[in-house]
Amino acid sequence: MDIIYSKQEIAHLPYRNSRLSLEKRVEDLLKRLTLDEKIRLLSGHRIFNTAPIRRLGLGRLRMTDGPFGVAMHSSGLSKNTRFPSTKALAASWNRALAKRFGVAIAEEVRANGRHMLLAPGINIDRTPLNGRTFEYFGEDPYLVKELAIPFVRGVQNQQVGACIKHFVANNQEILRKTISVEIDERTLHEIYLRAFEEVVKEAEPFSVMTCYNRINGVYGSDNSYLLRETLFDKWGFEGFIVSDWGATDHKELTTKSCLKAGLSLEMPSGKKYKQNLLEKALSSGEIKEDWINDAVSRLLLVAGKTGVLDDPETLPKGVKNSIEHQSLSREIAEEGMVLLKNEGILPLKLDSINSIAVLGPNMNKKFGKILYGGSSAVKAPYEITPIEGIKEFCSKDVKLVHDPSEADVVLLFMGLNHNKDGGRRDFVSGFFKKRKNALIYGHDSEGADRAQLELPQSQVDLIRDTVKKNPNTVVILINGSPLGMKEWLNDVPAVLEAWYGGMESGNAIANVLFGEINPSGKLPITFPEQLIDSPAHKSPKTYPGDLDDLKVYYEEGIYVGYRHFEKFEIAPLFPFGFGLSYTTFSYANLSLNKNKLQSLDDTFNLYVDITNTGERFGAEIVQVYANSLESSVDRPLKELVGFAKVELNSKEKKTVQISIRGKDLAYYDVMTHDWKLDPGTIRILVGSSSQDIHLETEIHFS
């Protein structure tokens, strides 16, 4: 008979004693749980929670989707601060801002009574068409980890768990549940696993979510190589692994294969971790109770870290929808905006403008709707649209007109939106019709990819038509993934990439357009001129994959993003790291504190003088790329290995210091299955984008 405890007895159980170490508390709890209860803890309860064990007073570990705030569908339809999309954060290249974002979102998670945030997504952008590009940071592992680490630390400093996802190579939404990513070991580690490895080691996220897809034929949720061998044994991950929702559905995965690989929590409910299946596997000796104990203790450890084992009254209450969070949301949107083109029309000067025409499909669009774009959708108590932001900024000084030919300036709000809304909802050719997740919507959305790089034809026509009527037309893009622009870019004097800017987007855009804020964002992803230039788009085999064998071949290897454009000398529309300012900067006096690196753990410092040569305050993102000249393997011509964001008043000069780790210069060696750097010279390139290199020096590895 299981012991039934009274409320008072529960309060005095050792696992409830916060003065004991967490390990001791978990040990005590594990000892008290019956096998049946442990099994119940291994799968989801009501979609976003673990099961409560009432007999022992153990509450639920409650999760919610992110990463732009607490998502509506997973928080009892509550309204929360809608922060900008991850692409906007990534375009800020601001580590401190990423940390503040993490703290704020964790406060909102707590205020919603949840313990874990199912974010951030740190997959690498392989194709501009991936429907979830807006949710991910970018195409470069160094940039991704440099921003994801502080984000995760910010979340977890608040005793809220972060869950990095989707482990790994979930780089397309078309056929995401079935496709097998065919990839070589070096590429897998050097490009797609690198940010995961760094975030796991540096920020110790409480959880990792598996992917839906297969990797070299094996699904993410029972992939022993990736989960047990790599995450647990090699990287020392101490948190728990959760399946993506429904990722264990396939018949190829079994109770044994999932448990053996290290999956702790099957979501949203038990398919492989059903009571009868686990019991059967145990009694036949297929699985061991130790495996169950390990899976459950990992979960309980996180439950302990996030306060599930404590009296809820003693936990921080959190904050949601505060003025501070709303203004942080605006700050991220402002810092993430990327000025792509400006022939001098921006910033707009209020005193010389009498009338403005605000046009385009995104001028009054709100993006916060339930499941709009997928699981990341957050609905805020209010959302400032671009037209509202412009009206508020201009107040009565400027007349808003409808006819572009009657306006001094036209602001055209173009771009994309999320699914089921005006986009082409289509299937990929006949073969896919019967298969799930073969959708393309033409927009930024989970569960579907975009159909084309270009804007919808109606928008291209609108731009051309408007420019004919008024050449002073500024295009503002609201979207989360690269767009082709060659049909119209030359016709317009200015283009501002605003991304999905969250609930304060309209105010942030007005502040940038009118020069209250000097744009400083830089692209975290290459904008190709045409799709065929992009590394994943060489043939249908490389994207979306071979339809007969359901495999997508990563033939480009490590040459993803700018690594590819540099190698093959393909001019992108806008390169990785690119972004203009309303001021200008000069680079001088590059030096290093040493000229030899001894080991991968060694670091060196780089110093460079940056001067604001223009007339107004601004911020520059100084980027450092490396190129190993002598190597036993093929190495990219440029790889991001450091960056710093520096703020400067007009004419001010600062010496920027950037610290660079040997490990970030390394490649993944398939002989030793480890990071390696061959002895020799490494060129160190310093610039304002991957293509605008201003200064260069060398370091030697011995």
Q: How far is CA 546 from the centre of its chain?
A: 27
Q: Please report whether residue 37 would count as binding ligand BGC according to CB under 6 A.
A: no
Q: Using the minimum distance from each CB to ligand BGC, give the nearer residue, 210 or 255.
A: 210
- 686-698 burial by CB neighbour count: b if 16+ within 10 A, else e? bbbbbbebbbeee
Q: Using the minimum distance from each CB to ligand BGC, give the nearer residue, 146 or 244.
A: 244
Nearest to 266 by CA among 300, 232, 223, 295: 295
Q: Please report whether residue 348 would count as binding ligand BGC according to CB under 6 A.
A: no
For the bound state, the minimum distance from the C-beta of residue 81 to ligand BGC, rounded and expressed in Å, comes to: 19
User: In this structure, what token pair is assigned to residue 543?
Assistant: 């994207």
Give 587's DSSP letter.
E
Q: Using the minimum distance from each CB to ligand BGC, give the nearer residue, 321 or 375.
A: 375
Nearest to 171 by CA among 213, 224, 120, 216: 213
What is the C-alpha to C-alpha distance for residues 393 and 457, in angstroms, rounded to an integer?
A: 31
Q: Please report whether residue 375 would count as binding ligand BGC according to CB under 6 A.
A: yes
User: In this structure, what token pair is assigned to residue 434?
Assistant: 């019967």
Are the C-beta atoms of 10 and 28 separated by less than 8 Å?
no
Interaction mask 118-137, ligand BGC, x per CB under 6 A: x-------------------
Nearest to 674 by CA among 327, 194, 225, 308: 194
Q: Using the minimum distance from each CB to ligand BGC, give the nearer residue, 48 or 604.
A: 48
Terminal Cα-to-Cα distance of the chain (whole angstroms): 67
Taking CB under 6 A as the criterion, which residues in 584-643 touch ligand BGC?
none
For the bound state, the minimum distance from the C-beta of residue 194 to ligand BGC, rounded and expressed in Å, comes to: 20
Q: Using the minimum distance from each CB to ligand BGC, give the nearer residue, 375 or 542.
A: 375
Cis ω before 109 (30° cut-off from 0): no
Q: What are phi and psi of 322, to 5 degrees?
A: -85, 160
Q: Please report whether residue 61 would count as binding ligand BGC according to CB under 6 A.
A: no
Note the maximum CA span of the chain.
Answer: 83
Q: Please report whether residue 414 would count as binding ligand BGC according to CB under 6 A.
A: no
Are the C-beta atoms of 112 and 149 separated by less than 8 Å?
no
For the bound state, the minimum distance from the C-beta of residue 475 to ligand BGC, rounded and expressed in Å, comes to: 31
Q: Please report whether residue 245 would count as binding ligand BGC according to CB under 6 A.
A: yes
For the bound state, the minimum distance from the C-beta of residue 160 to ligand BGC, rounded and expressed in Å, comes to: 15
Q: Could you tell me which residues come within 8 angstroms of residue 290 by beta carbon, excluding any fewer than 6 positions away?
A: none
Position with the least CB separation from ligand BGC: 375
Nearest to 356 by CA among 320, 395, 301, 298: 395
CA angle 261, 267, 271 (to 5 degrees): 75
Single out the residue of 107, 139, 140, 244 in contact with ligand BGC (rule: CB under 6 A): 244
Q: Using the minimum distance from each CB to ligand BGC, give the nearer residue, 163 or 573.
A: 163
- 144-156 burial by CB neighbour count: b if 16+ within 10 A, else e? bbbbbbbbbbbbb
Q: Please report whether residue 53 would count as binding ligand BGC according to CB under 6 A.
A: no
What is the C-alpha to C-alpha distance for residues 498 and 494, in angstroms, rounded to an integer?
A: 13
Q: Could you tell me which residues come within 8 angstroms of residue 283 by beta carbon, excluding any fewer than 6 positions away?
A: none
For the bound state, the minimum distance from the C-beta of residue 79 to ligand BGC, rounded and expressed in Å, comes to: 18
What is the C-alpha to C-alpha distance for residues 211 and 222, in angstroms, rounded to an integer?
A: 10
For the bound state, the minimum distance from the C-beta of residue 65 to ligand BGC, rounded and expressed in Å, comes to: 5
| Helix (H) or strand (E) run with residue 45 in it | strand 44-45
Q: Which of these is catalytic: 65, 140, 222, 244?
A: 244
Beta bridge partner(s), residue 700:
596, 681
Q: Please report whether residue 165 would count as binding ligand BGC according to CB under 6 A.
A: yes
**244 is known as an active-site residue:** yes
Q: Please report whether residue 65 would count as binding ligand BGC according to CB under 6 A.
A: yes
Q: Using the minimum distance from each CB to ligand BGC, give the nearer residue, 65 or 388.
A: 65
Positions marked catalytic? 244
Binding residues for ligand BGC, rule: CB under 6 A, are 65, 118, 165, 244-245, 375
